[in-house]
Amino acid sequence: MPELPEVETTARGIAPFLIGQQFTHVRVHQPSLRWPIPSDFEQRLNNEICVSVERRAKYLIIETTNTQIVSHLGMSGSFRLVDPTTPLKKHDHVQIRVGDLELRYHDPRRFGCLLWCESDRAQQLLQHLGPEPLSDAFNGAWLFARSRGRHLAVKSFIMTNAIVVGVGNIYASESLFLSGIHPQRAANRISAVRYERLAAEIKEVLARAIASGGTTLRDFVNGQGEPGYFQQTLAVYGRDGEPCRHCAQPIQSRVIGGRNSYYCLTCQR
DNA sequence: ATGCTAACCTGCGCGC
DNA sequence: TGCGCGCAGGTTAGCA
């Protein structure tokens, strides 16, 4: 599930309950994620005081007095705060007591990770990340400059983390629809003006999704339900064969860069 | 360098 | 009801 808005919502949701608190009763039940949870995770994290919880790209950075954790939720990961007496669910891989609550990392597909920030692996993951989509460093001029000489489909281009972070499969389709750009168009065959529009739509759609996800923060405490943004009306994603909300022509779908992609043949060129 | 594919895993929904 | 198949929000490794 996690696209950038969900990671941001997670960070904002858990931060107030973690910051200033001591981590105790740290337990790892299943270390084999995308990369193994370090063997000293329990021992080294136990009794640490949480200092901050931040998001970078789709990574969560949890800082304590003496160390720093980098976590990615992969395709199916989530952090939830629950009452410590709540029975463990299948695929609850890590539990950390935080005051009166317990933080649990849950990840059925195990594509996520929990790493020490200073590890070679974590540094490798973080070092080539492009600008944050909601920052001023990300704009149409940046996309235009970086796309010269690139022949790949624009959808694959904006999903490349070295270009811009946090644009996942859902919001790539959505932002291209909103900017009237065909997802298959070669990245270097799009004008500066159209990239200006695309950058603006990426910011807009992500900001809206974060605002909508932010309405369900309490879900992180009682551990129920999914963030609300996912219920928002999507213009094209997953609407294969349904009428375009703009022109009523059926929404098309095809695989681009190995990912299913949705678009309107009439509205997107 | 660029760009494409396979791979990592489990769960779910669908057709039979 | 059960079973097999295809597909799923991400990202890296490896190969042309």
A95: CATH: 3.20.190.10
Which pLDDT score, from 0 to 100, does residue A233 have? 79
Which pLDDT score, from 0 to 100, does residue A169 have? 96
User: Would you please indicate which residues of A are annotated as catalytic (active-site) residues?
Assistant: 2-3, 58, 259
**Using the CB atom, is residue A185 less than 7 Å from strand B?**
no
Tokens 């309490």 label which residue? Answer: A218
Instruction: Indicate if the pLDDT at residue A205 is higher than 60.
Output: yes
Instruction: Indicate if the pLDDT at residue A2 is higher than 80.
Output: yes
Domain match, A144 and A122 both: no
Rg (CA), chain A: 20
Per-residue pLDDT, averaged over A171-187, amounts to: 98
Query: What is the domain-level CATH number for residue A253?
Result: 1.10.8.50
What single-letter amino acid sits at A8? Answer: E
Domain match, A101 and A160 both: no
Which pLDDT score, from 0 to 100, does residue A226 have? 54
The last residue of a domain, from among A100, A127, A154: A127
Q: How far apart (Å, rounded) are the C-alpha atoms in residues A170 and A234? A: 9
How long is chain A? 269
Query: Closest by alpha carbon to A202, among A129, A143, A128, A125?
Result: A143
pLDDT averaged over every residue in chain A: 94
Domain match, A204 and A225 both: yes
Domain match, A109 and A176 both: no
Which nucleotide is at minimal CA–C1' distance from A6?
C9
H helix or E strand, kind and range, residue A16: helix A4-18
Domain match, A10 and A62 both: yes
**Using the CB atom, is residue A110 less than 7 Å from strand B?**
yes
A212 band by pLDDT with thresholds 50, 70 and 90: confident
Q: Is A61 among the domain residues?
A: yes
Q: How far apart (Å, rounded) are the C-alpha atoms in residues A109 and A101? A: 25
Which pLDDT score, from 0 to 100, does residue A250 have? 96
Domain match, A241 and A171 both: yes
The last residue of a domain, from among A127, A153, A184: A127
Q: How far apart (Å, rounded) are the C-alpha atoms in residues A104 and A95? A: 5
pLDDT in tens, A80-92: 999 999 999 999 9
Q: Give the domain extent around A249.
A: 140-263
C1' (C14) to CA (A181) span, angstroms: 31
**Using the CB atom, is residue A25 less than 7 Å from strand B?**
no
What is the total count of domains within chain A? 2
The encoded tokens of residue A35 equal 């990369």
C1' (C15) to CA (A253) span, angstroms: 28
Domain match, A79 and A163 both: no
Q: Which nucleotides of C are covered by protein (CB under 7 A)?
A: 7-13
Domain match, A252 and A191 both: yes
Which nucleotide is at minimal CA–C1' distance from A91?
B10
Query: What is this structure's pTM?
Result: 0.95
- By the 8 A CB rule, do A246 and A263 touch? no
Q: How far apart (Å, rounded) are the C-alpha atoms in residues A150 and A161? A: 15
Instruction: Indicate if the pLDDT at residue A224 is higher than 80.
Output: no
